[in-house]
C-alpha cells in the first residue's frame, strides 16, 4: 500500500509523537525526516495544554522498503551504530586547549546580557501593575541563570496558595522572554525569601515522611508540587538507601510519592479478602 509523502502525528510531547510515528510507519526514527510543527505546552497547572505535533516523511532510501522485515531493519541500525562507534574510536582526540571551546559549543549556557535583564524587569513590573500589586523588582544574573526578586507590601499576596501565583508569574515571564530571545535564559522569580524558605520547609517535611514510611512501610505523598519543588524532594532523599521518591501525575504540577523499595510506590498495601487469602 502506498504511503502519503508526509503525515502528521501528535503526542503530549515531541518524544511521544515521534514514537507514534515510528510505530505507525513501522520504521525506526533515523529513517524518518521529522519537522516539528509545535513542541507542545503543559499550560498553567495543567490548563490550556497543547499537544506536540510533527510532520514526518520517509527518507528516500527507505521509500519502497516499508514492508521489509523488522529484524532486517534492526540489523541495519545495529551495523550503523557499530560503524559509528568504530569511527569515534579511530578519530584523534582534540588538543587540550580546544576542549573548553568544544564543550561551550554543545552547551546551552550563555551570559545573559543587559538588554535581556532589562526586559525581564520591565515585563515583570508591567504584569504586577496590571495585577494591582505594584512592587520593587530587582534582577540579577549568573551566566544563563536570571533571578528576578519582588519586594514590597504585596509580597504576602503573591506567595499565597503555596506560591502558585508566584509560579504563574514565572511561567508567563519565561514565555514572554523566550519569544524574543533565541538564547534560553533560566528565569526564576522570587518574592521576599519565599523560594529558599519553601525549599527548607519541603526538605524538613520529606525527611519526616521518610522516617514515617520507614517505620510503617506505607507510602506517603506530597501533593501539588511544581518541577523545582519536586527536585528539592528528590535531591533530599537521593542518599536514603532504604527510601525512594518518584513523581506521579500529568501537567506542570504533580505529587511526589515517598516509599520503600519493593512497594512500587503504592499508596496502601493490598487488603486481604474476607474469608480467605489474596491470590
pLDDT band at 203 (very low <50, low <70, confident <90, very high): very high
In the predicted model, is pLDDT for residue 231 greater than 80?
yes
Q: What average pLDDT does the structure give for the chain?
A: 77
Show the cell assigned to 52.
506536540
Cβ neighbours for 22, distance < 8 A, ≥ 6 positions apart? 28, 29, 32
Q: What share of the chain is helix, strand, coil (3-state, %, to 5)?
A: 45, 20, 35
Q: Distance between CA atoms of 61 and 70, rounded to whole angstroms? A: 16
188 within 8 A of 148, measured Cβ to Cβ: yes
For residue 60, which phi and psi values (nearest 5 degrees)?
Answer: -55, -40
Residue of 38, 40, 47 lying closest to 168 (CA atoms): 47
Q: Which of 32-36, 107-111, 166-170 has the lowest mean pLDDT?
A: 107-111
Query: What is the rounded average pLDDT of the residues 155-180?
Result: 88
Tell me the pLDDT tens digit for each residue of 128-155.
999 998 889 999 988 888 999 999 988 9
Cβ neighbours for 242, distance < 8 A, ≥ 6 positions apart? 214, 260, 261
Q: What is the pTM of this model?
A: 0.50
Tell me the pLDDT tens digit for each residue of 71-123.
555 566 666 666 666 555 554 444 333 333 333 334 445 677 888 889 999 99
191 within 8 A of 150, measured Cβ to Cβ: yes
155, 161, 167, 172 alpha-carbon torsion, rounded to 10°: -90
182 or 150, greater pLDDT: 150
Amino acid at each position: 500500500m502506498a504511503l502519503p509523502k508526509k503525515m502528521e502525528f501528535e503526542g503530549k510531547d515531541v518524544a511521544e509523537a515521534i514514537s507514534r510515528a515510528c510505530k505507525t510507519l513501522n520504521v525506526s526514527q533515523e529513517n524518518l525526516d521529522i519537522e516539528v510543527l509545535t513542541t507542545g505546552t503543559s499550560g498553567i497547572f495543567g490548563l490550556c495544554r497543547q499537544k506536540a505535533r510533527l510532520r514526518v516523511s520517509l527518507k528516500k532510501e527507505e521509500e519502497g522498503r516499508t514492508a521489509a522485515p523488522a529484524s532486517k531493519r534492526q540489523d541495519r541500525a545495529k551495523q550503523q551504530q557499530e560503524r559509528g562507534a568504530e569511527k569515534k574510536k579511530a578519530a584523534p582526540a582534540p588538543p587540550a586547549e580546544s576542549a573548553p571551546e568544544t564543550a561551550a559549543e554543545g552547551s546551552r549556557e550563555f551570559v545573559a546580557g543587559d538588554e535581556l535583564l532589562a526586559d525581564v524587569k520591565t515585563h515583570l513590573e508591567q504584569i504586577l501593575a496590571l495585577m494591582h500589586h505594584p512592587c520593587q523588582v530587582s534582577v540579577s544574573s549568573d551566566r544563563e541563570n536570571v533571578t528576578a526578586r519582588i519586594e514590597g507590601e504585596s509580597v504576602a499576596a503573591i506567595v499565597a496558595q503555596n506560591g502558585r501565583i508566584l509560579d504563574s508569574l514565572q511561567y508567563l515571564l519565561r514565555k514572554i522572554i523566550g519569544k524574543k530571545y533565541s538564547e534560553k535564559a533560566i528565569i526564576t522569580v522570587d518574592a521576599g525569601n519565599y523560594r529558599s524558605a519553601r525549599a527548607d520547609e519541603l526538605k524538613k517535611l520529606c525527611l519526616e515522611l521518610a522516617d514515617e514510611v520507614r517505620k510503617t512501610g506505607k507510602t506517603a505523598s506530597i501533593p501539588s508540587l511544581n518541577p523545582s519543588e519536586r527536585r528539592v524532594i528528590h535531591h533530599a532523599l537521593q542518599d536514603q538507601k532504604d527510601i525512594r521518591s518518584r513523581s506521579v501525575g500529568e501537567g506542570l504540577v504533580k505529587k511526589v510519592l515517598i516509599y520503600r523499595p519493593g512497594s512500587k510506590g503504592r499508596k496502601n498495601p493490598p487488603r486481604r479478602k474476607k474469608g480467605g487469602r489474596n491470590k
